[in-house]
Amino acid sequence: MKRVTQGLTLLGATGSIGASTLDVVARHPDRLHVFALTAHKAADALLALCLRHAPRYAVLSGQAEDAGLRRRYADAGCRSELLFGARALEQVAADAECDVLMAAIVGAAGLAPTLAGARAGKRLLLANKEALVMAGPYFMRAVRERGATLLPIDSEHNAVFQCLPQESGKASVASVRRILLTASGGPFRAAPLDQLSRVTPDQACAHPNWVMGRKISVDSATMMNKGLEVIEARWLFDVAPERIEVVIHPQSIVHSLVEFADGSTIAQLSNPDMRVPIAHALGFPERIESGARPLDLAAIGQLTFEHPDLQRFPCLGLAYAALRAGGTAPAVLNAANEVAVAAFLDGKLRYTAIPQVIEHALERMPAAPADSLEAVLEADRAARAAAGDGVAALMGRAA
Ligand code: NAD
Ligand code: MG
């Protein structure tokens, strides 16, 4: 009997996670078909993906209605229906024909469509960590109340999920003592501290082990990425912040570890290839082919671990502080980080000024309750303004 395939909506199809997802999906035509693909403005890249994967819908969320583009897609032989504007993201996320939603938009822009998928009770594959950082408790409530299935794509959280026992179809943390998130330490783990103020965007984006989008690459260099992941883990697994620790592991082979009450520690290992967690989540609870190279431990030889240095990585300390402050503080942290990273990538801000901009925004905006989406979005908006002032004050200034 022919199996009915599941429809996939892929938010952020033209990005790094988008490409890895489509690579895995193309290996499993008996399981999955592409229902909708979205991009922000990259019309040509999206058209190429539509010609290859023939989705029912293609969304350009950062473009207003454009008859010329519609014609260009049709003339190229694209049969997908083209939708414009951010609201179309929510439409394709919540559509009845979307069985699986991959949330792979970068940044705060991913929150509304990811939440729409949670509210529609989808099988939700979450790469967009910023959604959970901004609105963790609120987001998780929507997942619970609407019966959505949440599967982590971030490699560390996917690793933790794989290490946890499953009880009644859910990952259980009942016997967990600690979660240990691994971090590569990024390109500047061993660079002299007095040289950091001069690093360029290209140096910050040259990650030693992973190829990723530019924003998350800078976050990996500052270790804000790990800070965001601590907050993500706190809500995903409902574990207190004191029980989530970070350990630097430069080889990026052990993707995270869970320590249990009896002293056992379980880890998940693979080559650093996002197709592994993506295939895990697409196939779960079955295991399906990802295309990743098998692990050759003897060739790697050594796996090493060290404590993070908070003087080198102040963003990690800021993230823990925002998590402890609670309420809207993580949303402020996230928004200020996005503004600071964008300014750094634009050549307007020094690398070492990134944490200063974030600290300034956190100081200016004391934590308020984050009990509604409006409260979170308002904090996001105000934090962007505060961070913009911080960038203007620090622009060009020697650190
Ligand atoms: P990317 O920059 O390569 O791609 C981002 C995608 O989002 C693109 O398709 C882009 O068109 C779309 N997009 C950008 N701005 C948008 C906006 N304002 N509205 C709607 N769509 C928009 O990013 P990436 O590296 O693929 O990361 C995507 C998400 O996955 C991020 O949240 C990141 O933290 C997370 N993640 C990525 C990796 C990785 O290996 N790349 C690993 C773990 C988690
Ligand atoms: Mg990660």
Of the pLDDT bands very low, low, confident and very high (cuts 50, 70, 90), residue 127 is very high
The per-residue DSSP string of 307-324 comes to ---TTT-HHHHHHHHHHH
Q: Does the beta carbon of 12 sit less than 6 angstroms from any atom of ligand 1?
A: yes
- Nearest 5°: phi and psi at 178? -145, 150
Ranges of each domain in the chain:
6-152, 155-272+295-317, 326-399
Instruction: Tell how far the Cα of 212 is from the centroid of ligand 1, in angstroms.
Output: 9
Q: Does the beta carbon of 106 sit less than 6 angstroms from any atom of ligand 1?
A: yes
Rg of the chain on CA atoms, in Å: 21
Instruction: Tell how far the Cα of 205 is from the centroid of ligand 1, in angstroms.
Output: 14
pLDDT single digits (tens) 139-174: 999 999 999 999 999 999 999 999 999 988 789 999
The preferred substitution site among 84, 215, 216, 280 for testing ligand 1, maximizing ligand atoms within 8 Å of CB, is 216
- Nearest 5°: phi and psi at 348? -95, -15
Q: What percent of the chain shows pLDDT beyond 70? A: 98
The per-residue DSSP string of 21-77 comes to HHHHHHT-TTTEEEEEEEESS-HHHHHHHHHHH--SEEEETTS---HHHHHHHHHTT
Instruction: Tell how far the Cα of 168 is from the centroid of ligand 2, in angstroms.
Output: 27
In this predicted structure, the answer to whether residue 78 has a pLDDT above a threshold of 60 is: yes
Q: What is the mean pLDDT of residues 338-349?
A: 98
pLDDT single digits (tens) 46-67: 999 999 999 999 999 999 999 9
In this predicted structure, the answer to whether residue 399 has a pLDDT above a threshold of 60 is: no
What's the pLDDT score for residue 170?
A: 85
Instruction: Tell how far the Cα of 215 is from the centroid of ligand 1, in angstroms.
Output: 8
CATH class assigned to 6-152: alpha beta
pLDDT single digits (tens) 91-109: 999 999 999 999 999 999 9
What's the pLDDT score for residue 168?
A: 80
Q: Report residues near ion ligand 2: CB below 5 Å.
A: 154-156
Query: Which amino acid, residue 345?
Result: L
- Domain 326-399 listed as CATH 3.40.50.920: no
In this predicted structure, the answer to whether residue 3 has a pLDDT above a threshold of 90 is: no
In this predicted structure, the answer to whether residue 398 has a pLDDT above a threshold of 60 is: no
Q: What percent of the chain shows pLDDT beyond 90? A: 95
Using CA atoms, how far residue 296 sits from 271, 301, 303, in Å, is: 9, 9, 12
**Residue with the nearest Cα to atom 4 of ligand 1?**
15
Instruction: Tell how far the Cα of 128 is from the centroid of ligand 1, in angstroms.
Output: 7
Grouping H, G, I as helix, E, B as strand and the rest as coil, residue 327 is: coil
